[in-house]
Structure 1
Amino acid sequence: MDFFAPLRRALARFTRDERGVITTEMIIVTPLLVWLFLALFVYWDGYRAKNTAVKATVAVADMISRESAPINSSYITGMHRVYRYATAAQRPSWLRVTLIQYSEAGSAFRVIWSRTTDSSRAQAHTNASIAEMRRNLPNITDADTLMVVETWQEWSPAFWVGLSEQVFYELATEKMRAQALLPIT
């Protein structure tokens, strides 16, 4: 007398029965698909924000390089507003604009002037700080001037999918078009 025969038959029937499999698969896969959709959205938004920050930085640098009248701190603040508008910034951002001149004799850049919209996060450049970022600057001829525009834009993901908050840093350089030594007041 096989005492476990009914139990084995019931177990065999259970393993062959495929009713409800789709529901079970849906319960298992749906959270993964939702997470994947949210992750793609967040990564796409991050790339969009980074790309927009790059374009806005280059646009601001180009606008300043075409300026022919003396500029002041209000002008720099206005350029920061243009940047914020172009990026549709919801989070804090700040900007630093520096006019530098290259000296072939000293083989170094000299800061003519530097202004920032948030001095607690980005100090105005000095000759020493420009020397530290020399490898990021293009080669130019003796006595040429270069406008350096740096922007920082905070970004936070809409959903937590493994990405943390970030600050996008962008640097754009432009040769001055209207006049070599753009005065600041």
Structure 2
Amino acid sequence: MLISSLKKAARSFTRDQNGHVTVEILIIMPIMLWLFGVGWVYFDAMRQQDVNQKANYAIGDTISRETNPIDAAYLQNSHNLLQLLTQSTGTETDLRVSVVKYKEQQSKWVLVWSAVVGNQQKLTNGDMSDYVARLPSAAAGGQQLILVETWDDHKPIFNVGLDPFEIRTYSFNRPRYSPQMLYTLGGENNGWGNGDQTAPGASLCTNNAENQTDCTAPVTGI
């Protein structure tokens, strides 16, 4: 008798379609909120990556249009622009601008100068091997490229399994209206003249002067 009653109650329970909406909401709502948080966090990460890359393009395009030498103040203002576009703070964002030149006789890119705003290190000729795959395989002798790199620490707003990570962007442009991009430091330029100036210092090669020969000595950045 007891077993028959239990079976009847079980069948009645499985067939019963009545319920309380509040109970169902309490069960489903946490799952829905978690899924919403996951979607928001990953979408925001991809959005921020896109924003940072577009900010990189904007800075690189602006620098490529310059015809006057740029200096530390110019780079600081470019960093301020990066912060504005990415809505980040100075401690989270770094900017590095470098200029490389193609050495036709050696069939390779060498560093002309590199400058940083933030905590990153300046680019060196020893780092150029890491950029071979990112640069054109060949170019006209003496052609310059402006490399713009940014770093930004991204912290997800919710803890849904995505750890904080660093957003790094990269782009390169040719100088648009001049054959070279100058960088001034302490009142002197980086040694690239109009072909008839004497480079600062004792060596055309070490100062990267425009009228230097195709030196075999490595070119060092500023």
TM-score (norm 1): 0.89
Superposition CA RMSD, Å = 1.8
Q: Distance in 1 between matches of 2:10 and 2:171?
A: 70
Q: What stretches of structure 2 of length at least 5 have no aligned partner?
A: 185-222
| Aligned positions, number | 182
- Report the CA distance between 1:55 and its aligned residue: 0.6
Q: Does 1:85 align with 2:87?
A: no
- Tell me, what secondary structure is at the counterpart of 2:170? strand
Corresponding letter in the other structure for 2:128: I
Q: Does 1:36 align with 2:35?
A: yes
Corresponding letter in the other structure for 1:152: W
Q: Residues 71-150 of structure 1: matches in 2 within 5 Å?
A: 71-90=70-89, 92-118=92-118, 120=119, 122-139=120-137, 140-150=139-149
Q: Distance in 2 between matches of 1:55 and 1:36?
A: 29
Q: Distance in 1 between matches of 2:67 and 2:159?
A: 47
Using CA pairs under 8 Å that are at least 6 residues apart, name the structure with larger relative contact order, 1 or 2: 1
Structure with more helix by fraction: 1
Q: Distance in 1 between matches of 2:6 and 2:168?
A: 67
- Is this contact kept in 2: 1:109–1:131, CA < 8 A? no
Q: Distance in 1 between matches of 2:45 and 2:2?
A: 64
Q: Distance in 2 between matches of 1:72 and 1:164?
A: 37
Q: Distance in 2 between matches of 1:161 and 1:35?
A: 8
Once the two structures are superposed, residues 145-169 of structure 1 have per-residue CA deviations (whole angstroms, 9 ceiling, x without a partner) of 0100101111111111221111111
TM-score (norm 2): 0.75
- Is this contact kept in 2: 1:108–1:131, CA < 8 A? no
Q: Does 1:170 align with 2:175?
A: no
